[in-house]
Chain A
């Protein structure tokens, strides 16, 4: 698809033009970090950052969201009947999303539209959104996207991919949605045949960290599950859930009813497989009652169950947020390496336990 040139002056003007037809979202400074927020009038997204602290997943999957509402008033004829909550699904655009977060959206999409059921909350927000990405020319030391099925100029999940060229952006139009946004913004300058290829190659060259995954699919699920290294890996884990909250591909949620007076709402909130209550039965029995079992679930889900279920690689895009923010330095690259190098000859011994 075609590449256009956007002068930085045009960029700011274009944003103002876009506000007429889109709600705009982008990275903004929040205390000492950057996170995705709705941009106030006149506010521009912060494009010169390495990455946001939390992924962009909340843009289509809010951390807390009302699903339904109901009356608990005995005099109300609709008492106890769940009703849809009014939602704003007017067009919105995300600016400055990194390719890792965009690829994560593609992976998570498979969960929220699983063939049998479509999750309307996630899909409506997703469909209403135009995703404008920014290629990463200065990766973090913890980035390992190029070996996680992604990359600093990866295009999957994006409608428009920008590359920062100093006084201007080059923008690769990837979809009709991206073209429509560029049109609305008035970005149409010809790039004179220039492409993003060189920037892509240069950026990929800067990613030096890797994740090993080549044997995961072939390895036996129960051998991996029963392997003795989980004791070591989970030893320092405090089950804080930070990894799942900052992760762009973690999608688990809880559903809770909240009541105010005679009105109630059914909410959904991000949840985490790190928490014991995630799986505890009413009887008190808990299939994943120990931290070893919970940590193992997280890595097995990302690096084995997902791989086997979808045949689309690992459920990780290499953004490195969990590596950066884990308070006890658990590193998914090291865990994957340990899983990936499980000794085939130990299978029987492990399973025999």
Chain B
């Protein structure tokens, strides 16, 4: 019997400091055993348990994209025991990754549709994975218009800045980057919270459009009425939830929101589905 609790050994191949306050780092991992990479076939929107012997495990969304081969990437906020330890690890160190876990964004359903992506803060990781996936030359024609509203507190807190700028220049994706505030006179993008920028810039929703929303609870709370106003149905608004997790495979029992388990039945749910749960997240 395969042991789903056993992590794949990985080596830290690169560490990128993403934010000016150094609280966010992106870790690039390479599998020690090449065949493990095949077993780790994932879809954008899934997560994995980063596993450090002696510290524990932490569920983190996969920031790399299925179309990127040879490595996997995770952007990690320094917050608790495992993530603080991880932030002090070095390139070349060996640790574990267990996954991929959870469902993903509903890619079959999203094909042929216009996609609006709304992200805030460091919850942009699986959204980055999704954008890279959709922009891949083999996939771009499968989707209609792609629009992105992404905001952070300051320019220095935005993730993946080089990629954001590159996407900004493309004509097959509509980027709306925003910050809560900045004193940088050279800032040429939006200033304002994500919900009002979404209201101003995002396309109208219809039966052919889906919105994928990831961000802090307060952002989600104020974005929901904006999306409703724009015409996105509750079953066309897609959320990715977070809860405390241990097993990640629907067994240990703690991440339940009603009969749904965030780790296995989620983390991706439509707003319609979430509305039917006790929302204990």
Interface positions of A (Cβ within 8 A of B): 67-68, 70-72, 79-82, 84, 111-112, 114, 116-120, 123-124, 221-222, 225, 251-257, 259, 264, 266, 268, 271, 273, 278-283, 287-288, 293, 297, 300-301, 304-306, 308-309
Closest to A222 in B: B278
Whether B251 contacts A119 by the Cβ 8 Å rule is yes
Whether A305 contacts B256 by the Cβ 8 Å rule is yes
Closest to A117 in B: B249
Which B residues are CB-close (under 8 A) to A266?
A: 5, 53
Instruction: Report the Cα distance A346→B95, complex, angstroms.
Output: 54
Whether A256 contacts B56 by the Cβ 8 Å rule is yes
Which B residues are CB-close (under 8 A) to A268?
A: 252
Which B residues are CB-close (under 8 A) to A256?
A: 56
Instruction: Report the Cα distance A252→B253, complex, angstroms.
Output: 5
Q: B76 to chain A: closest CB distance in Å?
A: 11
Whether B252 contacts A255 by the Cβ 8 Å rule is yes
Whether A297 contacts B51 by the Cβ 8 Å rule is no
Which B residues are CB-close (under 8 A) to A119?
A: 4, 251
Whether B53 contacts A118 by the Cβ 8 Å rule is no
Instruction: Report the Cα distance A120→B4, complex, angstroms.
Output: 8
Name 6 extra pairs, CB < 8 A, besides A81-B32, A117-B249, A257-B55.
A81-B53, A82-B96, A111-B253, A120-B4, A268-B252, A305-B259
Which A residues are CB-close (under 8 A) to B113?
A: none
Stretch binding the partner chain, chosen from B118-126, B161-169, B189-197, B238-246: B238-246
Which B residues are CB-close (under 8 A) to A306?
A: 259
Given contacts A81-B96, A255-B57, contact A281 B242 (CB under 8 A): yes
Instruction: Report the Cα distance A35→B130, complex, angstroms.
Output: 53
Whether B7 contacts A305 by the Cβ 8 Å rule is no
B252 contacts which of A72, A254, A301 (Cβ < 8 Å)? A254
Instruction: Report the Cα distance A282→B122, complex, angstroms.
Output: 15
Chain B interface residue count, Cβ-Cβ cutoff 8 angstroms: 45
- State which residues 152-200 of B face A: CB under 8 Å: none
Q: List 10 A-B contacts (CB under 8 A).
A: A80-B52, A80-B53, A114-B264, A117-B251, A118-B4, A120-B5, A251-B253, A254-B252, A255-B247, A305-B256
Whether A279 contacts B243 by the Cβ 8 Å rule is yes
Q: B198 to chain A: closest CB distance in Å?
A: 24
Q: B213 to chain A: closest CB distance in Å?
A: 18
Whether B251 contacts A70 by the Cβ 8 Å rule is no
Given contacts A81-B9, A123-B1, A257-B53, contact A279 B254 (CB under 8 A): yes
A111 contacts which of B5, B251, B254, B281 (Cβ < 8 Å)? B251
Q: Mark B1-42, 1 if CB is under 8 A from A, else 0.
A: 111111101000000000000000000000010000000000
- State which residues 220-268 of B face A: CB under 8 Å: 242-244, 246-247, 249-259, 264
Given contacts A112-B251, A117-B251, A253-B253, contact A287 B281 (CB under 8 A): yes
Question: Which one of B83, B244, B247, B277 has the highest number of Cβ atoms from chain A below 10 Å of its Cβ?
Answer: B244
Instruction: Report the Cα distance A257→B247, complex, angstroms.
Output: 13
Whether A225 contacts B254 by the Cβ 8 Å rule is no
**B contact patch SS:** loop
Given contacts A72-B54, A279-B244, A282-B80, contact A116 B253 (CB under 8 A): no
Closest to A306 in B: B259
Q: A313 to chain B: closest CB distance in Å?
A: 14
List the count of A-B residue pairs having beta carbons below 8 Å apart: 132
Q: B94 to chain A: closest CB distance in Å?
A: 5
Q: B137 to chain A: closest CB distance in Å?
A: 32
Judged by a CB distance under 8 angstroms, whether B91 is at the interface is: no
Interface positions of B (Cβ within 8 A of A): 1-7, 9, 32, 51-57, 79-80, 83, 93-96, 242-244, 246-247, 249-259, 264, 276-278, 280-281
Q: B245 to chain A: closest CB distance in Å?
A: 10
Whether A254 contacts B94 by the Cβ 8 Å rule is no
Which B residues are CB-close (under 8 A) to A116?
A: 249-250, 264
Instruction: Report the Cα distance A257→B277, complex, angstroms.
Output: 32
Whether B258 contacts A280 by the Cβ 8 Å rule is no
Q: A251 to chain B: closest CB distance in Å?
A: 6
Whether B96 contacts A297 by the Cβ 8 Å rule is no
* Top 4 closest pairs, chain A to chain B, by CB: A252-B253, A70-B53, A305-B259, A282-B80
Q: B98 to chain A: closest CB distance in Å?
A: 9
Whether A287 contacts B53 by the Cβ 8 Å rule is no
Instruction: Report the Cα distance A308→B7, complex, angstroms.
Output: 32
Which B residues are CB-close (under 8 A) to A81?
A: 9, 32, 53, 94, 96
A68 contacts which of B6, B93, B254, B257 (Cβ < 8 Å)? B6
Whether B256 contacts A297 by the Cβ 8 Å rule is yes
Whether A293 contacts B256 by the Cβ 8 Å rule is no
Whether A280 contacts B244 by the Cβ 8 Å rule is yes
Instruction: Report the Cα distance A308→B277, complex, angstroms.
Output: 12
Which B residues are CB-close (under 8 A) to A293?
A: 280
Which A residues are CB-close (under 8 A) to B249?
A: 114, 116-117
Whether B7 contacts A282 by the Cβ 8 Å rule is no
Instruction: Report the Cα distance A283→B244, complex, angstroms.
Output: 10
Which A residues are CB-close (under 8 A) to B250?
A: 114, 116-117
Whether B95 contacts A287 by the Cβ 8 Å rule is no
Whether B5 contacts A118 by the Cβ 8 Å rule is no
B258 contacts which of A67, A112, A221, A283 (Cβ < 8 Å)? A221
Closest to A67 in B: B5
Q: A267 to chain B: closest CB distance in Å?
A: 11
Instruction: Report the Cα distance A253→B54, complex, angstroms.
Output: 18
Q: A78 to chain B: closest CB distance in Å?
A: 9
Which A residues are CB-close (under 8 A) to B6?
A: 68, 82, 84
Whether A287 contacts B243 by the Cβ 8 Å rule is yes
Instruction: Report the Cα distance A95→B259, complex, angstroms.
Output: 34
Which A residues are CB-close (under 8 A) to B258?
A: 221, 225, 300, 305
